[in-house]
Amino acid sequence: MTIQQIATQPFSDQRPGTSGLRKKVTRFQQPHYLENFVQSIFDSAGDIQGKTVVLGGDGRYYNQQAIQTIIRMAAANDIGKIMVGRAGLLSTPAASTVIRKYHTHGGIILSASHNAGGPDGDFGIKYNTANGGPAPEKITEAIYQRSKEIDRYLILDSTDVPLEQCGTHRVGGMEVEVIDPVADYAELMEQLFDFPAIRNLLAEGFTLRFDAMHAITGPYAHEILENRLGAATGTVINGTPLPDFGGHHPDPNLAHARELVEQLFSDEGPDFGAASDGDGDRNMILGKNFYVTPSDSLAVLTANAGRVPGYRNGLTGVARSMPTSLAVDRVAEKLGIDCYETPTGWKFFGNLMDAGKVTLCGEESFGTGSNHIREKDGLWAVLFWLNILAARKQPVAGIMQQHWKEYGRNFYTRHDYEELILEEAQGIMEHLEQQFATLEGRRLGSYRVEQCDNFSYTDPVDGSTSSGQGIRILFEDGSRIVYRLSGTGTVGATLRVYIESYEPDPGKHQQDPQHALAPLIDIAVELGQIDSRTGRTAPSVIT
Ligand code: G1P
Ligand code: ZN
């Protein structure tokens, strides 16, 4: 086995986005494309020689080849040891768990999260640091800078490592340990949640359905929900990970998890439903005939954390991404704890957690998590809800309604306009910014604009500033419209419009959010001139 030094040329499009480098599979298959980025990671990830690095992915198309390439490159770059999930699989939360538990130098996660897979789908790669979280911007920027000047990469001339069984192998001077992808994660969940109480709830006849969407959480959900908690066989649907996710979008929302939604909204349906995404970090929570928005879910978890063993001693604080609804802010206020507002993307929560400032955090994009790891965690959120349901013995809808009664309801929706022409989407953002000066104080329908800005965040821990994080139109009554361009899309541009209003009156809580928010939705379209600039008369996805 010899180390080969391969001459290469930089690609100009390897800047990591909201969550690592995400491109079409076909782009990653270009000669040297993956290798350049991996070498850029090894060259930028600090003193990595001799250290242990975790490796795994969500099993999507190209996962297997990429894993073998990365192992050979790691060996050539003098990495001490690779811990890789069996069959190359690790959910994103499990990878974070393993990085933290074994105090490794970091990890490489192969995933394009909720994006479609298969030969024509998307692939992605991201680097996580020793705290188990996505690398902060100064590292992702260093990786990008390196990718622009790279002229060689190192790779060992060796055969594929068998990954189908747990065990240890040597590749050159490096050790490769193939680990059970589920065990460490399942053990951590048992420490955090009251498994006996959930087991009792299920034994009493409470029924649930978990949709793994043919993605990575299948094996985790089978083990935890069915084997350890005793949920009936068949509780987990679409539980076998497939390279193309069965041709579907592995995105747990009302549009893409339709089969599950239909079951929960039918008379014979189960009491509780949940789904997770491609790499297992997102979650959608459903009750019987009831959909819980991710923003409300974060608020409910915060309000009920005292009922859950892992959080019984209190929360130090909570955090939400800027576009996430203000529902959790109201709970934090009542609990007397801090609530931080961060830019979109999980990487901003890590510093707050490492500094002990927050325990729970979440995003409106179906992401919820805690300081047990440094990634959002789909199954964790499901178990948190099951623990609350076991403790309160009320249906999901009842818990939500009681919550709104106590705190008021933040009506919330997100309208996505996908695959726009980049210039048109940028034009909308520029047009909005140009209106800032004339908008403040102006009356729009029954709302008066209080403030407009492009959100900027200064990290309270390291003092770094991230600007241009989304346009906010804030109204006097606390309503908001937020506009952002997605940082994870791979085709054209995606405009996300987040719309929110607050309703204290319980008599008005039963309205459909699209109806309650209709006047603000119209204002949002008008202010952005969305239809005239894009030719779109409706959003592509509403969540
Ligand atoms: C989207 C979500 C964001 C999430 C990210 C990764 O990013 O909006 O909340 O952290 O995916 O899962 P966006 O495409 O909006 O940049
Ligand atoms: Zn994901």
Same domain assignment for residues 383 and 342: yes
- The torsion of the CA quartet 147, 70, 127, 121, rounded to 10 degrees, works out to 90
Q: Measured from the CB, is residue 52 less than 6 Å from ligand 1?
A: no
Give one word for 247, left, alpha or beta, with left for phi > 0 and alpha for psi -120 to 50. left
Which one of 135, 158, 180 terminates a domain?
Answer: 180
Measured CA distances, 55 to 84, 92, 317 (Å): 5, 10, 31
Same domain assignment for residues 168 and 235: no
Protein residue whose Cα sits closest to atom 13 of ligand 1:
486
Both tokens of 542, joined, read 């509403």
Same domain assignment for residues 310 and 398: yes
pLDDT tens-place string over residues 196-210:
999 999 999 999 999
The pLDDT assigned to 324 comes to: 98
Q: What is the CATH number of the domain that holds 68?
A: 3.40.120.10
Query: Does the pLDDT value for residue 489 go beyond 80?
Result: no
* Minimum-distance ligand 1 atom for the alpha carbon of 489: 14
Q: How confident is the model at residue 159 (pLDDT cuts 50, 70, 90)?
A: very high
CA of 112 to the centre of ligand 2 (A): 7
For the chain, what percent of residues have pLDDT higher than 70? 100
- H or E stretch at 283: strand 283-287
Same domain assignment for residues 156 and 248: no
The pLDDT assigned to 255 comes to: 86
Query: Does the pLDDT value for residue 413 go beyond 90?
Result: yes
* Minimum-distance ligand 1 atom for the alpha carbon of 496: 15
Q: What is the CATH number of the domain that holds 499?
A: 3.30.310.50
Q: Which of 451, 494, 499, 540 is nearest to 22 (CA)?
A: 494
Same domain assignment for residues 93 and 210: no
Which domain, by its residues, includes 377?
Answer: 185-407
pLDDT tens-place string over residues 247-270:
999 999 988 999 999 999 999 999
The number of helix segments (H) and strand segments (E) in the chain equals: 18, 27
Q: Which of 240, 252, 251, 80 is nearest to 171 (CA)?
A: 80
- H or E stretch at 139: helix 137-147
Which one of 407, 428, 461 terminates a domain?
Answer: 407
Query: Does the pLDDT value for residue 1 go beyond 90?
Result: no
pLDDT tens-place string over residues 66-92:
999 999 999 999 999 999 999 999 999
Which one of 378, 407, 436 terminates a domain?
Answer: 407
Query: Does the pLDDT value for residue 236 go beyond 80?
Result: yes
pLDDT tens-place string over residues 451-481:
999 999 999 999 999 999 999 999 999 999 9
Rounded-to-integer distance, Cα 111 and Cα 56, Å? 9
CA of 101 to the centre of ligand 1 (A): 26
The pLDDT assigned to 136 comes to: 86
Pocket test for ligand 1, best of 137, 342, 363 (most atoms within 8 A of CB): 363
Dihedral of alpha carbons 456, 353, 108, 419, sign:
negative
Rounded-to-integer distance, Cα 538 and Cα 372, Å? 40
The mean per-residue pLDDT over the stretch 139-147 comes to: 96
The mean per-residue pLDDT over the stretch 219-234 comes to: 97
Q: Which of 139, 129, 137 is nearest to 109 (CA)?
A: 129
Same domain assignment for residues 396 and 413: no
Q: Annotated active-site positions, please?
A: 113
* Minimum-distance ligand 1 atom for the alpha carbon of 114: 12
Which residues have CB under 8 Å from 415's CB, separation 6+? 496, 497, 499, 521, 524, 539, 541, 542
The pLDDT assigned to 137 comes to: 85
Same domain assignment for residues 403 and 447: no
Q: How confident is the model at residue 401 (pLDDT cuts 50, 70, 90)?
A: very high
Q: Measured from the CB, is residue 122 less than 6 Å from ligand 1?
A: no
Q: How confident is the model at residue 19 (pLDDT cuts 50, 70, 90)?
A: confident
Rounded-to-integer distance, Cα 62 and Cα 307, Å? 42
Pocket test for ligand 1, best of 113, 488, 497 (most atoms within 8 A of CB): 488
Same domain assignment for residues 534 and 517: yes
Q: How confident is the model at residue 18 (pLDDT cuts 50, 70, 90)?
A: confident
Other residues' Cβ atoms within 10 Å of the Cβ of residue 350: 23
Query: Does the pLDDT value for residue 491 go beyond 90?
Result: no
Query: Does the pLDDT value for residue 231 go beyond 90?
Result: yes
Same domain assignment for residues 239 and 126: no
Q: Measured from the CB, is residue 486 less than 6 Å from ligand 1?
A: yes
Q: 281-318 in b/e burial notation, b at 16+ Cβ within 10 A?
A: bbbbbbbbebbbbbbbbbbbbbbbbebbebbeeebbbb
Calculate the average pLDDT of the chain.
Answer: 96
The pLDDT assigned to 447 comes to: 96
Same domain assignment for residues 324 and 200: yes
Rounded-to-integer distance, Cα 299 and Cα 498, Å? 18
Alpha helices in 294-421 (DSSP H): 294-304, 327-335, 347-354, 378-392, 396-407
The pLDDT assigned to 46 comes to: 85
Report for 10-19, 246-255, 278-287, 484-493: range of highest mean pLDDT: 278-287
Same domain assignment for residues 360 and 437: no
Query: Does the pLDDT value for residue 525 go beyond 80?
Result: yes
Q: Measured from the CB, is residue 363 less than 6 Å from ligand 1?
A: yes
Measured CA distances, 396 to 21, 197, 296, 329 (Å): 37, 17, 12, 21
Q: How confident is the model at residue 449 (pLDDT cuts 50, 70, 90)?
A: very high
Both tokens of 325, joined, read 């609804």
Q: Measured from the CB, is residue 223 less than 6 Å from ligand 1?
A: no
* Minimum-distance ligand 1 atom for the alpha carbon of 19: 6
* Domains contained in the chain, number: 3
Q: Measured from the CB, is residue 283 less than 6 Å from ligand 1?
A: no
Q: Name the β-bridge partners of 17.
A: 20
The pLDDT assigned to 156 comes to: 98
Same domain assignment for residues 258 and 113: no
Query: Does the pLDDT value for residue 377 go beyond 80?
Result: yes
Query: Does the pLDDT value for residue 490 go beyond 80?
Result: no
Other residues' Cβ atoms within 10 Å of the Cβ of residue 109: 29
Q: Which of 376, 379, 375, 56 is nearest to 223 (CA)?
A: 379
Query: Does the pLDDT value for residue 346 go beyond 90?
Result: no
